[in-house]
Amino acid sequence: MNHSKNDGFTSIIEHSPMEFPHLILNLYACDETAINNEEYISSLIIDLSSLINMNIISGPHILSYGDPSSKDHGVTGFAIIAESHISVHTFTLCRCAYFDIFSCKGFDIEKAILFISARLKSKRFSKQLIHRRTGAELQNP
């Protein structure tokens, strides 16, 4: 798999048929109104899937949970995409959001991170990129 380094981001340029990208994105100091709004989170998932060329086949499914004064209060959303899934969990009191994008085709990691971060007005984030393998390399030829 070829990677491009740019300002600390890693973007998938070519996708190996033996590897599937799995982005785990933690966003901090997010806009409280954005992360607490079901319609906004739904729109974010739809726009994100379009931006990274993924096809939603179910969802987005969105629900608020917890008492507004509880540390667990937030919004959860997910969409099943033809390529796998996109999910998000937000926590209003700590102003955090946690995204998970898993796909069996390559996508622009940097574009996804910048888009989500801008939409949630996140002040900082951390990411983990996992390259899941198909297991085909373990089979006998």
As annotated, the active-site residues are: 84, 89, 104
Q: Which residues contact 75 (CB under 8 A, 6 or more apart)?
A: 35, 36, 37, 38, 41, 62, 63, 64, 65, 88, 89, 90
Nearest Cα residue to 88 out of 101, 70, 106, 102: 101
